[in-house]
Copies of this chain bind each other. A is one copy, B any other.
Amino acid sequence: MKTKRAVILLSGGLDSATVLAIAADQGYECYALSFDYGQRAQTELNAARALVQRFNAKEHRVFKLDLAQFGGSALTDEKIDVPDQAQEGIPVTYVPARNTIFLSLALAWAEVLSADAIFIGVNSVDYSGYPDCRPEFIAAYEQMANLATRNGVTGEPFRIETPLISLTKAEIIKLGDRLGLDYALTVSCYQSDEQGRACGKCDSCHLRAKGFEDAGLVDPTHYQ
């Protein structure tokens, strides 16, 4: 039987780490793709490297991408502060067209690898303010991707897999925990220090801590 291959978008955060655990558990040969996009949290990339080792991904590429030159987000623009509290509407931590760009680079690698799927850890429950985390965006992307590539000509479709899309943070954590994922390896904080320790104060830290609480599991996060 042909080995199933998948490109996994891996930031090193809690969600994408769980996605890698799921793809590995489903028997995919995993090709992890991370981005160094001028984000403040370089420690995420160290987390991604540790996760690649843990789940025996076949390859790991870190693609350098200077999204800061377009600006418009607190995550890539030094002039915009990362807020401590959740905001109404689209958050300032939203990076314009980020998931579209990440999926497009994953698509290029997937086409070269003849992969069957791209896995991405988008979630429409906790992050409903991000337009590019919604199921209708993913469905439109999958349709476009099948027209964009050789697959659109040869008729072998591939899929955009979003196993977390309708799960709560607590459900995600329980699932990863069952698959043997040690969440101490992951980094969620937008302002973590060089040792990967979380601030415990930002939006992302709050969501994560509440996830462990709701899941009834001990929070293994290293705080500053």
| Alpha-carbon separation in the docked complex, A64 to B134 (Å) | 29
A145 close to chain B: CB less than 8 A: yes
Could you tell me if A99 and B148 are in contact, using CB atoms closer than 8 angstroms? yes
Interchain nearest-CB distance for A59 vs B (Å): 11
A50 close to chain B: CB less than 8 A: no
Q: Which of A105-113, A172-180, A181-189, A202-210 contacts B (4 or more CB under 8 A)?
A: A105-113
Q: Which of A18-26, A69-77, A214-222 contacts B (4 or more CB under 8 A)?
A: A69-77
Given A131-B148, A144-B141, A152-B137, decide whether A98 and B90 contact each other with a Cβ distance below 8 A.
no
What residue in chain B is nearest A145 (Cβ atoms)? B100
Could you tell me if B112 and A131 are in contact, using CB atoms closer than 8 angstroms? no
Contact with B along A96-122 (1 / 0, CB 8 A): 111111011101110110000000000
Number of copies: 2
A61 close to chain B: CB less than 8 A: yes
CB-contact partner of A61 in B69, B98, B99, B131, under 8 A: B69
Could you tell me if A100 and B96 are in contact, using CB atoms closer than 8 angstroms? no
Chain A interface size band reads 35 or more
Could you tell me if A144 and B100 are in contact, using CB atoms closer than 8 angstroms? yes
Interface hits, A59-102 → B, CB 8 Å: 61, 63-67, 69-72, 89-90, 95-101
CB-contact partner of A143 in B69, B109, B140, under 8 A: B140
Could you tell me if B61 and A112 are in contact, using CB atoms closer than 8 angstroms? no
Could you tell me if B101 and A108 are in contact, using CB atoms closer than 8 angstroms? yes
Chain B residues near A72 (CB, 8 Å)? 108, 111-112
CB-contact partner of A90 in B104, B140, B148, B153, under 8 A: B153
Given A69-B61, A109-B70, A112-B71, decide whether A97 and B148 contact each other with a Cβ distance below 8 A.
yes
- Partner-B contacts on A (CB < 8 A): 61, 63-67, 69-72, 89-90, 95-101, 103-105, 107-109, 111-112, 131-132, 134, 136-137, 140-141, 143-145, 147-150, 152-153
